[in-house]
Amino acid sequence: MIIGILKEVQKGEKRVSMTPTIVKLLIKRGFDCYVENDAGLAAKFKDSHYEKSGASIKSRDEIFKEADILVKINPFNKDEIKLLREGQVLISKLYHLSSPKLIEALSEKGVSAFSMDAMPRISRAQDMDVLSSQNNLAGYKAVILGAYEMSKIFPLMMTAAGTITPSRVLIFGVGVAGLQAIATAKRLGAIVEATDIRSETKEQVESLGAKFISVDNEGEKSEGGYAKEASDEYKQRQKEAVEKSLFNADLVITTALIPGRKAPILITEEQVHKMKTGAVIIDLAAGQGGNCESSKLNKILRVNGVKVIGTIMSPESVSTNASELFAKNIYNFVAHLTDENGFKWDLEEEITDGTLIVHKGINRKQINKIAYESNN
């Protein structure tokens, strides 16, 4: 089978879905790899690097025409969908819960499509989980971005001219990105606090040397490794519990996302106005509406002396490392789905069932929903 690695066309994207090292491993497994011209250039992987790994450099049209499997990071756009042919297998992030028109378009083309962002949160799928691998880097990068935008340094510093007190950092959401943000801010010498709806994250926060801000009554449990939406009552209790830390924070990083839903508002505009002058908010959930009521995607806003930066959990600025991790996730996923005869199509297997959104033109999730509703 031929695997086609496409160049990412989304504005600002610098990553590539497959690196030369992983191409070499796939070829050893019996695949042929076609790489689009300059697909990895923004991530510092030249065409010559891929060729040395055994790949063939092809044009975009050639890859769409000849490849059996098409791999990319971001969802396929309208122009790309026009080039698809029946029977091809697509592997990318599809965000199928919030992109019904995309899934409908893929179904009409008669393809099979796996969504990497739908990977089940189970132990044997950890090495295929692109959300974890990419969010890890996003958490790190958020702290570095915050350090650049702040007017203070992180650590305690004693000088002949006097003592500089450490910065205070507050993290909303203790998933992969939040944990990495905590660890990075601690390494830089900040005083770090964190909060999360999932009470089971308290131990993780404290193990990294940060303080967990508890909310009255035990928090919600996670569902399949993801936080679920909190009740209005809980949101109010959380708001009250974190306000003291929020108003004293020099840097606030928000990471709370709910799959297929708008991001929950954790910081209101009223609260932003009460924060101290010079504070910085990095809202990593801005792509889904934002955790901060004042944030706008890809905008730096100044609200009453507070700098509010709306961004997403997509670490394009560390594209080399991000591409390496994403590619390894893809390799493990392809190895799981295939054997010497090609795709196994084990539709009852948990990883396949969770990620296979369209199978040979059939929207599996819609069928499952209809079947569930008819049985209940």
Catalytic residues: 121, 126, 129, 132, 226
CB 117 within 8 A of CB 93: yes
* Superfamily in which the 132-313 domain is placed by CATH: NAD(P)-binding Rossmann-like Domain (3.40.50.720)
Largest CA distance in the chain: 75
List the pLDDT tens digit at each of the 376 positions of the chain.
999 999 999 988 999 999 999 999 999 999 999 999 999 999 999 999 999 999 999 999 999 999 999 999 999 999 999 999 999 999 999 999 889 999 999 999 999 999 999 999 999 999 999 999 999 999 999 999 999 999 999 999 999 999 999 999 999 999 999 999 999 999 999 999 999 988 889 999 999 999 999 876 554 555 555 555 667 777 777 778 899 999 999 999 999 988 778 899 999 999 999 999 999 999 999 988 999 999 999 999 999 999 999 998 888 889 999 999 999 999 999 999 999 999 999 999 999 999 999 999 999 877 655 444 444 4
Is the sign of the CA dihedral 222, 224, 225, 226 positive or negative?
Answer: negative
How many whole angstroms separate alpha carbon 10 and alpha carbon 316?
Answer: 11
CATH of 2-128+318-375, one of 2.60.40.10, 3.40.50.720, 3.40.50.1100, 3.30.1380.20: 3.40.50.720
DSSP string, 279-290: -EEEETBGGGT-
CATH 3.40.50.720 residue ranges of the chain are: 2-128+318-375, 132-313
Measuring CA to CA, which residue among 200, 178, 192, 201 is closest to residue 313? 178
How many whole angstroms separate alpha carbon 73 and alpha carbon 24?
Answer: 19
Expressed in angstroms, the distance from the first to the final Cα of the chain is: 42
